[in-house]
Amino acid sequence: MTEPSSFFPSSQKRLNINFMAHISRVYKKTCSNGKLAIYLGKRDFVDHVDMVDPIDGVVLVDPDYLKGRKMFVMLTCAFRYGHDDLDVIGLTFRKDLYVQVLQVFPPEPTSPQGPLTVLQERLLQKLGDNAYPFTLQMVVNLPCSVTLQPGPEDAGKACGIDFEVKSFCAENLEEKISKRDSVRLVVRKVQFAIPEPGPGPCAQTTRRFLLSAQPLQLQASMDREVHYHGKPIAVNVSINNCTNKVIKKIKISVDQITDVVLYSLDKYTKTVFIQEFMETVAANSSFSKSFEVTPLLAANCQKQGLALDGKLKHGDTNLASSTILQPGMNKELLGILVSYKVRVNLMVSGGGILGDLIASDVGVELPLILMHPKPSHGDSEDIVIEEFARQERRESQEALEEEGDEGS
């Protein structure tokens, strides 16, 4: 949408403060009527387990549009467990887990006014007197953003946990606000790998076979507790085969376990990686080797219901990160819990005439924590505003349709 030149400068795509060459990206979203815009310095907010990054931004409003009304900013965390087109007789498949409302203008006397962030100061300096800062603080017991991968024929918003920052002008909070008169920006709550992870997991098992005096011993381990998305995972396999059986191959798989704990006790297990290694271990021999496995979303993009990290529009995502729980936290409040496990299985030949027809399986499981490393951010003096323009025409059409439905 082209902004009205009378209020929002149409050339204002980039705000330069020429002290350093560093660049800081600012996300901007304007409502359909062009009278209200919201600015955020980032869309990913980190959950540090004991606290969450505050959401700090600025709202720019046309003073003629405000007309003595109040201006609000709202943060909503919602669990969507059905598509919009399935809503019937006014019932929606959506549950708000958390809602926080802040009156930005005029500021409430009882609201604590904290210090402005550096980004807010720069934006206020450039945007002028009609810009107002806001800061929202999430509580620590909210879930992270998770999206359940839709099927090939599914349309509309995907199921999962999402966060939304919304700004609007109204006389009071009970007033009904149309989509055209509000501006909404989806954000994500994310967790990064802990800075000092513990030792890698280890599991072992012993299997005895008929007519074999000694057992088969299998041990599997990983060098690290936490692994990163897209990076190879080294799985160490040690076998002490004291039996008269022959191990034909080794199969390693990675499973994603998704617990939907909010509205039911559903648990879904989906294999996100599987590979067979044609390693033969003869009878009465030992074997030791490290195998690399890499679970990727690209190899699982057709699996419906797979848990992904919360997806922002027009942005790529990945397999969902493991859920890190604070001790004593109520799991039901988190909506969706994601975990992973690595399975190592040996295909043991039965030997003799029947051979593989009576083969048996010996396996162990290892817990896997899959996350992103914590990124490093430097100080930035140059501000680049990324404006959302691709969705505005569609949202404007949706707003007009919504208003038409209300009038009919």
Q: Which of 206-220, 284-298, 388-402 has the lowest mean pLDDT?
A: 388-402
Peptide bond into 106 cis (omega under 30): yes
The vertex-34 CA angle with 29 and 36, nearest 5°, equals 60
Whole-structure pTM value: 0.77
pLDDT of residue 171: 82
Burial class (CB in 10 A: 0-12, 13-18, 19+), 96: exposed
> For residue 249, which amino acid is it?
K
For the four alpha carbons of 160, 163, 167 and 168, in that order, the dihedral sign comes to positive
The CA distance from 45 to 168, in Å, is 22
Strands (E) across 172-245 are located at 182-190, 202-207, 216-222, 226-228, 233-241
CB-based contacts of 103: which residues, under 8 Å, 6+ apart? 70, 71, 72, 111
pLDDT of residue 257: 93
Give the chain's mean pLDDT: 78
pLDDT of residue 21: 40
Structure tokens at 274: 């599987």
DSSP 242: -
| Position 165 confidence tier, pLDDT thresholds 50, 70, 90 | very high
| Position 372 confidence tier, pLDDT thresholds 50, 70, 90 | confident
Whether residue 383 is predicted with pLDDT greater than 80 in this model: the reply is no
The CA distance from 29 to 10, in Å, is 14
Burial class (CB in 10 A: 0-12, 13-18, 19+), 33: middle
Sheet strands side by side (includes 336-349): 226-228, 360-371, 336-349, 246-260, 266-277
Q: Which of 93-97, 177-181, 402-406 has the lowest mean pLDDT?
A: 402-406
Secondary structure (3-state) at 365: strand
> For residue 120, which amino acid is it?
Q
Q: Assess contact for 24 and 41: CB atoms under 8 A.
A: yes
What mean pLDDT do residues 162-170 have? 89
What mean pLDDT do residues 85-111 have? 73
Q: Which residues pair with 37 in a beta bridge?
A: 30, 60
DSSP 355: G
Torsion of CA 69, 71, 75, 81, to 10 degrees: 40
